[in-house]
Chains A and B, each alone.
Chain A
Amino acid sequence: MSMRQGDSSQFGRGTQPRGPGRPFGPGGGHPGMMGSGEKPRNFKNTMKNLIQYLKPYRVSIIFVLVLSILSTVFSIIGPKIMGKATTKLFEGLVAKVSHVPGAAIDFTYIGHIVLALIGLYAFGSLCAYFQGYIMAGVSMKVTYNLRKSISEKINRLPLKYFDTQAYGDVLSRVTNDVDTVGMNLNQSLSQIVSSVTMIIGVLAMMFSISWLMTVVVLLVLPMSSVFVTFVVRRTQIYFKRQQDYLGHVNGHVEEMYSGHNVMKAFNGEEKSIKQFDGLNKELYGAAWRSQFFSGIMMPVTQFIGNLGYVAVCIMGGYLAIKRTIEVGDIQAFIQYVRSFTMPIAQVANIANVIQSAAAAAERVFEFLAEEEETPEVTRPVKLDRVTGRVTFNEVYFGYIPDKTIISCFSADVKSGQKVAIVGPTGAGKTTIVKLLMRFYDVNKGSIMVDGVDIRELRRRDLRSTFGMVLQDAWLFNDTIRENIRYGRLNATDDEVIAAAKTAYVDHFIHALPHGYDMEINEEASNISQGQKQLLTIARAVLADPKILILDEATSSVDTRTEVLIQQAMEQLLKGRTSFIIAHRLSTIRNADIILVMNNGEIVEQGNHRELLAANGFYASLYYSQFESYNPK
């Protein structure tokens, strides 16, 4: 699995969410034109997967293909018929000028042609529209299904997966990659068919008018595709360079803006402008070159198109004198030549489009193919009334198989007991939590709730016996009421309010604008950290679990909230077995069992007194707090 965004920061450690890297939507960016240059690793497999997703829509797709061929064919025969009208007109005129008796322009004939063409074109356009209409529907459905699969997949993946994946990466699959697939699907499928039909059809028509002129055109036009390939390649180089330099400039801008206090505090303005000027100059050089090269494409292809045009005029004129072709044929031929360049460019481009679509699809399918959580046991045990006794039985565990961080850990936590987990930041205190909730499975040994191995239970049943209040309070963009109700989705409003009262948060909520109906904003920044914590406590109260997992607050909230949180936690702990990631000495001292962790391992276990007596890591940790004001 690649780490595309070069972000190795682990999930859940307060990394900032990464937005989608590229603006969304039709008109955003140049789909395919510049070619992302990204190539799928296994094209065939990806296509196979994609076809699976398309299968339910095969009838629609066949319909689309037929319609697309039809509309193309209509647009091909149009000019030829129109040419006939011109020829008729010309003949009539010449006859009239040459004073052939009774000579007149045959308006009935021309009228018929015009009427026939109106019908033909209208029908062709209708076909084209329905083709696009249906295809848009199909590609949107595929997009929808892919996203749905991803969202469901997220919930089936083991937490382990997210240890190594930045979630910006998953996010970009849900939006960017799926979008790329959908958009390209929409374009390329019908485009391949219509372009190929167009090329064949136009060629046939041109040959039917004059093989000599066709050969001339065929000699001229490949020049344009050779040139286009050359320019595209050049452009890509400069675009890449522009992108790189843009990255440098953006990096510098970002660095200076976000550090502008320091920059100013140390009078670094001039230095930074000097550096900026250098980068900016480089960017300028790459920018105009890439702009120029991408802009050169049109005039040159136009010129080559004009070459074809001139060639047709000369040849056509010559052949018309010889009476090999008619005047209307020249007109038709000109139209064919003009409509010949576009499908060729499209076909040339389509390889790029498909490639970038496949690369995007591959990332999506890769994600969907990730290994899922181990399946539930076939005959799960059901716990009727949980007392809350938790036993660790010679547990071995390591995030990476060959690096065991918990070795032969045994402990018996009786119903209603308090377990404190302590250790410096980054010591891996949440590991125990993750094992208890079966976010990870132990490597050896077992963890038992009420004497039953937790692997014998269904995950849902196990987890519903636990309540969890994490320090990094997780709220979502909805009302406060719904955020509390999250603890038990079928709770009534009254139950929600009761839980809020128990958690001492009811009073707070009433003081907020709109009370329980106040909407938490997207960044969850419109209420304070302390309030958030209280809400998550209320949530746990509502869930009413037998066993609790708590993460004590370390962030400084104001003293009054602090006291409230304390009280709410006390309230919550009553009569429940609890695991507390503890920072407060009072909590630690009162715990029945203290698990001391360092560098991811459990280094000591016992109660406060025992651990101090042992004079180990816990003791040094404890005493280091006071060193600062013990001068000696």
Chain B
Amino acid sequence: MVKLIKYLKPFAGQIFIIFLLLFTQAMTDLSLPSYMSRIVNVGIQQGGIRNAVPEVIRASEMAKLTLFMDDNAQAAVSDDYILLDKDKLSPDDYAQYLRDYPALAVGAIYKLDTSEPAEIDKLDGILGGPMLIVTTIQQGGISAFTGGELVLPEGVDPFDLLAQMPSAQLAAIREMAAEQLASAPESMITQSAVGYVAAEYQAIGIDVGHIQTRYILSVGGRMLLLALLGAACSISVGFISARIAAAFARDTRRKVFVRVGNFSNSEFDKFSTASLITRSTNDIQQIQMVLVMLLRFVFYAPIIGIGGVIMALGQNVSISWIIAAAVMAVLSLVSVVFLVSMPKFKLMQKLVDRLNLVTREILTGLMVVRAFNTQGYEERKFDRANVNLTGNQLFVNRVMVFMMPAMMLIMNGVMLSVIWFGAKQVDLGAMQVGNMMAFMQYTMQIIMAFMMVSMVFIMLPRAAVSAQRISEVLETELVINDPENPQRFGGDIKGQVEFQGVSFKYPEAEDYVLRDISFIAQPGQTTAFIGGTGSGKSTLVNLIPRFYDVTEGKILINNIDIRDVTQHDLRDRIGYIPQRTVLFSGTIESNIKYANENASGGEVEKAAEIAQALDFIQKSESGFETTVAQGGANLSGGQKQRLSIARALVKRPEVYIFDDSFSSIDFKTDAALRRALKKETGDSTVLIVGQRISTIMNADQIIVLDKGRIVGKGTHKTLMESCEVYRELALSQLSKEELIS
């Protein structure tokens, strides 16, 4: 995984934007519960009144509060409030104010004259205490603050009394009150101050219900905007991450494809074709999927996780352990489930493969099974595979089934803990009910984030394997490279092919496949190679287009070592007809022209004619425009081989290599084809690998291979006399009389 990260560099800017967006999204997600908490705390519980700073207050009430303020506080308050008095206002202003504050008719009113949050905060601290004291005095008399020394006579307003007190005595009472206030919990002060303000508003004649509704709506409105912002962020993240992932997949796919295009057979052998295909396709899809997950969820989780913790801590520190416990519980649940099911998960693919194998065996051996009456045996074998697979699936399913209920239990347990321990905190006044409810939501969000991460971590190992496989391809050193200062073949060359003491072994193999091979194939002549399977005849000709490089010795074309020219130049000189016919999807014409795009229609037709392909091409309805399906699936083996020969012919190369290219062509066509070829190839060097004696027996030079060594070299006639291996081969195919006739 780490190795692929460097390929993400071009997307760094976009990833940074994603990061910012996710951050915003997390902030909005996290602030929603705190807004809800405000609706409960302020909106419902405090009637929409935010703090102890009244918008307006009767002058008479202000006088009472002022009694419990020191000089500094009094000065601060009088700075921020202006007095509305019937006598001092213009009639217009008066009428307007009266509509808002009916109590103005009765007496003067102070109106708040600031909207600075800092100033209001300061006032909140100043006014809260006196309000609580005033409320207490109004409800229970003054005795609470005078230590019971002072008993009021009936009908005397305690505030009048206080107002008349000497300032020293008043200061003493103020001090005593302050002491008591210090021990009261903060929320207590706020709550009663809010109650005081509400009562005051009512007295002034303001519609309190309206304030409350307005408050709830304004908070709700802000919540809506936040939700919208969050959704917008999230969608943008989805958009950018989808594009990054797809672009990353596109670029990586291209890199891999180009890289593999440069691979020689050695690298193909190392990886196997099937595996390379998977690496270029499925593995990259896999990475693309995980990348999206990574960008959208894995980045998001820590942001919301940390943010959630901070927010939750802001609500109340002392029950935050619940979050830690919940996260621990989730993590241990996931890891236990993961650990228990992992071995069985790994086993799963094997068991599926086994079932597939058994089924495939039954299907491929249908006739054999029936011929030997072993249906019962096969059914038992299938049953074993079936039992093992379903048993394993059952186990994994049951472990997975455990996940959901356990998860629910943890979630619900967390909720209950928050309620129980939160209630205690509320009782102590350290927390409000709305905050407790918000705390619950935070906890859920945090748990969800961790869940998401752990799910991704389950996916990650698979993606890591894919990433590893891709980077293996990208980092493979090429075995066959072009020389730094290549020679050139020049315009007019003869295609003489010479092997000088060539030995070859496959990379990392122990044994040599070819040993000490030397021969010269002359232009205008046919050189044939024959031998049993594993004799190395096909390997030998595959060295010429440099599909592999020789291990020892050298190969010369026109007296130049083939490693001294570029691969492009070398292959331009060779017409190669492979053992396993390869056609590309397209048309018959596009396949023949694959060797030489500039070939004219006439040339294509000529090549097809020589390859004995013209007949069947013309019989087909669309002629040369006939579609060729992938791999040439719609053509027979013989037709494919003939097209593959035509393709090489249209190139008019100096060297022809027929790697066992006549095997699917029937005897008659084979003979006709070789007669036509003989005329066409003219001065070119022709190399033929054959299995049928009849195919090669007319060659100018026959090279007999056995176990990688040349054991005979000559014509059919000389070899029949001198070479034991050749004779054996010939006799196994044709009878004595036939060989002599």
Contact = CB atoms under 8 A, between A and B. Distances in A.
Given A82-B419, A129-B402, A629-B694, A317 B234 contact: no
A264 B545 contact: yes
A292 B242 contact: yes
A98 B194 CA distance: 11
Interface stretch (A170-178, A203-211, A410-418): A170-178
A261 B576 contact: yes
Given A114-B420, A559-B532, A625-B738, A273 B258 contact: yes
B231 interface: yes
A124 B574 CA distance: 76
A256 B256 CA distance: 13
Taking each of A107, A147, A151, A300, which has the highest tally of chain B beta carbons within 10 Å of its own beta carbon?
A: A151
A568 to B, nearest CB: 15
A93 B426 contact: yes
B437 A86 contact: yes
A167 B379 CA distance: 17
B94 interface: no
A26 B397 contact: yes
B265 interface: yes
Given A136-B398, A143-B393, A261-B547, A321 B585 contact: no
Range class of the A interface residue count: 35 or more
B645 to A, nearest CB: 12
A511 interface: no
B412 interface: yes
A518 interface: no
A263 to B, nearest CB: 8
Prevailing SS type, chain B contact patch: helix
B419 A313 contact: no
Given A152-B379, A264-B567, A265-B574, A255 B238 contact: no
Interface stretch (B119-127, B220-228, B305-313, B315-323): B220-228
B10 interface: no
Contacts of B133: none
Interface stretch (A243-251, A376-384, A498-506): A243-251
B378 to A, nearest CB: 7
A260 B263 contact: yes
Contacts of B35: 313
Interface in A529-575: 529, 539, 543, 556-559, 562-563
A580 B348 CA distance: 44
B357 A321 contact: no
A627 B382 contact: no
Interface string A139-173: 11101100110011011000100100001001100
B90 interface: no
B367 A284 contact: no
Contacts of A9: 633
A230 interface: no
A99 interface: yes
Given A174-B359, A276-B257, A477-B357, A144 B390 contact: yes
B383 A148 contact: yes
Contacts of A409: none
Interface in B272-305: 273, 276-277, 280-281, 285, 288, 292, 296
A255 B568 CA distance: 21
A167 B363 contact: yes
Contact of B368 (A104, A334, A468): A468
B314 interface: no
A331 B437 contact: yes
Interface stretch (A301-309, A392-400, A610-618): A301-309
A25 B348 contact: yes
Contacts of B362: 151, 154-155
Interface in A590-629: 624-629
Contact of B396 (A26, A267, A528, A585): A26
Contacts of B412: 78, 117, 121
B582 A259 contact: yes
A69 B143 CA distance: 62
Taking each of A262, A307, A460, which has the highest tally of chain B beta carbons within 10 Å of its own beta carbon?
A: A262
Contact of B356 (A12, A89, A175): A175
Contact of B216 (A154, A267, A317, A439): A317
B578 interface: yes
A10 to B, nearest CB: 12
A152 B376 CA distance: 9
A125 B405 contact: yes
B406 interface: yes
A522 to B, nearest CB: 6
B188 interface: yes
Interface in B491-537: 532-535
Contact of A93 (B224, B433, B535): B433
B361 A477 contact: yes
A162 B734 CA distance: 37
Interface stretch (B36-44, B69-77, B324-332, B603-611): B36-44
A105 B394 contact: no
B370 interface: yes
Given A97-B191, A246-B285, A261-B578, A627 B668 contact: yes
Interface string B239-279: 10111011101100110011011111100100001001100
Interface string B415-457: 1100110011011000001001100100000000000000000
Taking each of A259, A313, A331, A629, which has the highest tally of chain B beta carbons within 10 Å of its own beta carbon?
A: A313
Contacts of B670: 628
B571 A266 contact: yes
Interface string B531-566: 011110000001001010000000000000000000
Contacts of B741: 626
A25 B396 CA distance: 10
Contact of B235 (A162, A256, A300, A306): A300
Contacts of B63: none
B250 A320 contact: no
Interface string B334-361: 0000000000010011001001110111
B227 A306 contact: yes
Given A129-B401, A476-B361, A12 B366 contact: yes
A314 interface: yes
A273 B261 contact: yes
Contacts of A272: 261
Contacts of B224: 307, 310
Taking each of B257, B379, B436, B633, which has the highest tally of chain A beta carbons within 10 Å of its own beta carbon?
A: B257
B413 interface: yes
Contacts of A85: 419, 423
B433 A310 contact: no
B641 to A, nearest CB: 13
A159 B366 contact: yes
Nearest to A625: B667
Contacts of B420: 110-111, 114
A75 B545 CA distance: 72
A11 interface: yes
A97 B195 contact: yes
A264 B478 CA distance: 15
A257 B260 contact: yes
A558 B224 CA distance: 82
B369 interface: yes
Interface stretch (A16-24, A54-62, A344-352, A443-451): A16-24
Given A257-B260, A321-B43, 17 more contacts: A17-B364, A86-B436, A92-B427, A136-B398, A137-B394, A137-B398, A144-B390, A159-B367, A249-B253, A251-B630, A258-B631, A265-B574, A316-B39, A486-B377, A489-B374, A543-B372, A626-B694
25 contacts: A89-B433, A124-B405, A147-B390, A151-B383, A155-B379, A162-B363, A167-B360, A175-B352, A253-B277, A255-B585, A255-B631, A260-B263, A265-B545, A291-B242, A292-B239, A299-B235, A303-B227, A317-B44, A321-B213, A330-B40, A463-B372, A467-B371, A522-B357, A539-B372, A629-B716
Closest 9 pairs (CB-CB, A-B): A132-B401, A299-B234, A303-B231, A288-B246, A558-B532, A291-B242, A259-B582, A314-B220, A295-B238
